[in-house]
Copies of this chain bind each other. A is one copy, B any other.
Amino acid sequence: MTNLKEKFAQTRSQTQALCAPLKIEDYSIQPIIDVSPPKWHLAHSTWFFEQFILQPHQPNYKVYNTDFAYLFNSYYNNVGTRVLRPNRGLMTRPTVEEVYAYRNYVTAAMLDFLDFEFPSELIPVLELGINHEEQHQELLAYDIKYILGNQPFFPSYETKAKLSVENFDLEYINIAEGVYNIGHRSDTFCFDNELGAHKVYLNTCSISNKLVTNAEYIEFIEAGGYTNFNYWHAEGWDFIQNNKLTAPLYWHKVNGNWHYYDQTGLVPVNKDLPVMHVSYFEAFAFAEWKGMRLPTEFEWEVASNHFRWGQLWEWTSSAYQPYPGFTKKEGAIGEYNGKFMVNQQVLRGASISTAPNHSRNTYRNFFSTQLRWLFSGIRLAQ
Contact = CB atoms under 8 A, between A and B. Distances in A.
Interface of A: 23-29, 31, 39, 67, 70-71, 75, 77-78, 83, 89-93, 95-96, 147-148, 150-153, 155, 179, 198-201, 203, 205, 229-230, 232-237, 280-281, 284, 317-319, 321-322, 324-325, 334-335, 339-343, 345, 369
A321 B319 contact: yes
A96 to B, nearest CB: 6
A325 B95 contact: no
B236 A67 contact: no
A92 B29 contact: yes
18 contacts: A23-B92, A23-B93, A24-B24, A25-B28, A25-B39, A25-B93, A29-B29, A29-B90, A67-B153, A77-B229, A89-B89, A91-B152, A93-B152, A93-B155, A198-B201, A235-B343, A284-B342, A342-B345
A72 to B, nearest CB: 11
A71 to B, nearest CB: 6
Contacts of A233: 339-342
B342 A280 contact: yes
B321 A317 contact: yes
Given A23-B95, A78-B230, A343 B340 contact: no
A318 B317 contact: no
B29 A89 contact: yes
Integer count of this chain's copies in the complex? 4
Nearest to A288: B328
Contacts of A200: 200-201
Given A93-B152, A198-B201, 18 more contacts: A23-B92, A23-B95, A24-B24, A24-B95, A25-B39, A25-B96, A26-B93, A28-B28, A75-B234, A77-B229, A93-B148, A199-B201, A199-B203, A200-B200, A235-B340, A235-B342, A237-B339, A318-B321
Question: What 8 A-B pairs are tightest by C-beta distance, nearest first?
Answer: A319-B319, A25-B92, A201-B201, A24-B24, A203-B324, A234-B339, A77-B229, A26-B92
A67 B322 contact: no
A317 to B, nearest CB: 6
Contacts of A318: 321
Contacts of A77: 229-230, 237
Contacts of A280: 342
A364 to B, nearest CB: 14
Nearest to A25: B92
Contacts of A93: 23, 25-26, 148, 151-153, 155
